[in-house]
Amino acid sequence: MEKYLKYCFFDSLLFIVDSESSKTISAFDLHGNFKHQIYHVGNGPKEYIDISNVCIVPNKGHLAILDRIQRRILYYKYNGEYVSTERVPFINNYFEYLESGNKAYEIYGMNDPELGSDKENSLVVTDSANNVVYSFFKDIHRSDFYYTKNRTLRKFHEGVYYTPNITDTIYCIKDSIVEAKYYIDITQNNVTDMKVTDTKQFHEMLAEHYFFNGDFIELKDFTYINIMSPWGYPSAVYVHGKKKTYLSSGTGNHPFFAFMGTAPKARYKENCIVLDVRSYQILAQKSQLYNGGEHKQLLDSLFENLTEDSNPVLFFYYLNEKL
């Protein structure tokens, strides 16, 4: 279940989106206390069948739920109160809001004739009424190649970013233009440098090569990047002010550094990344975490009520602004 969880922060609320198992959006305060839940499964006027994505609507105090199956977006207030429903005229995987109110849609492999010639691209940007402004990035989906990155479209603070499927470039999406922002320079055994024939061959290549699969978090002063490798997810930090990149050594003095091999799920405030770790993974490392006894009080509070059936645990890592 945990792989389908998404986390959204706004002011003093954390929204946890379970799009697969319970199809709910649960709101908590930042101490973990449950506040309320959105659960309206069905095909009625205020209901959804599918939670394909959840976005925070800029300057509205609303959540937007994309129901891909019914081609519509449902809007709710943060307290769970229903607001309205909007019809989307074309099939899409998910979307994010630009600060202007325009929307960026990911339509990889959709091939919807409603989009006309724009169906040939994997990214479509519309105005607030879903009229197409422009589209970009040739859709490489075909019957024998259908691999897709974890999340090609991401939003951090006011910026919306797109990483096409088999590229090492992160693009920034604007109202009328796409701008290349970062190039991930993988110099050793990079899958992107090789000819890909079909999905089966691509997965075989991933077992021996490195690949940027789109896992990154854009922060105020840093960009935190994970690279997919045969042995894990090594990380790098790009420091905006210095325009330098630092590779993680993979080791650290704090016991919670052991979980940094997990790809981050969200940004919190200015320079904090958020990881979720399954409870059984934490319990499996219990004796190793207690090694040395230096952080016993902190670890005691972590393990106090933790069982294998517990929900995933969120870890907040603040990057040092003096880096």
Write out pLDDT tens, residues 154-191: 999 999 999 999 999 999 999 999 999 999 999 889 99
Question: In the chain, how many H helices and how many E strands?
Answer: 4, 23
The 10 Å Cβ neighbour count of residue 33 is: 8
Distances (CA, A) of 219 to 80, 153, 216, 319: 29, 16, 10, 9
User: According to the model, what pLDDT value does residue 112 have?
Assistant: 95
- Is 2 a residue whose pLDDT tops 70? no
- Confidence at residue 66, expressed as pLDDT on a 0 to 100 scale: 96
Q: Which residues contact 11 (CB under 8 A, 6 or more apart)?
A: none
Cβ neighbour number for residue 238 with a 10 Å cutoff: 19
234-253: pLDDT as tens digits: 899 999 999 999 998 877 88
- pLDDT level of residue 1 (50, 70, 90 thresholds): very low
Q: Determine how many CB atoms are found less than 10 A away from the CB of residue 73.
A: 23
Domains present along the chain, CATH in parentheses: 1-88 (2.40.10.480), 91-184 (no CATH), 215-323 (no CATH)
Quick: pLDDT tens for 126-146: 999 999 999 999 999 999 999
State the pLDDT at residue 4. 62
Tokens of 297: 């009080």
Q: Starting from the edge strand earliest in sequence, which strands make up the sheet with 169-173, in order?
A: 153-156, 159-162, 169-173, 178-183
Query: H or E segment at 281?
Result: helix 279-284
Query: Going by C-beta distance under 8 Å and a sequence separation of 6 or more, which residues neighbour residue 196?
Result: 145, 166, 202, 205
Mean pLDDT of 34-53: 92
Q: Give 266's strand partners.
A: 274
Contact 245, 182 (CB under 8 A): no
Q: What is the pLDDT of residues 102-120, one digit of tens each?
A: 999 999 999 999 999 999 9
Mean pLDDT computed over 22-46: 92
Locate 275 and state its tokens. 């990881």
Cβ–Cβ under 8 Å, residues 216 and 265: no
At 103 the three-state DSSP class reads: strand
Residue 89's pLDDT band (cuts 50, 70, 90): very high
Could you give the percent of the chain with pLDDT greater than 90? 76
Query: What is the per-residue pLDDT across 202-228, written as a single tens digit (0 to 9) for each?
Result: 999 999 999 999 999 999 999 999 999
- Condensed to tens digits (0 to 9), the pLDDT of residues 266-309 reads 999 999 999 999 999 999 999 999 987 789 999 999 999 999 99
* Most confident range, picked from 8-17, 80-89, 258-267: 80-89
Pick the closest to residue 96 from 137, 52, 139, 131 (CA basis). 52
Alpha helices in 148-258 (DSSP H): 199-206
Q: Tens digits of per-residue pLDDT, 299-317?
A: 999 999 999 999 899 999 9
For CA atoms 235, 225, 308, 1, the dihedral sign is negative
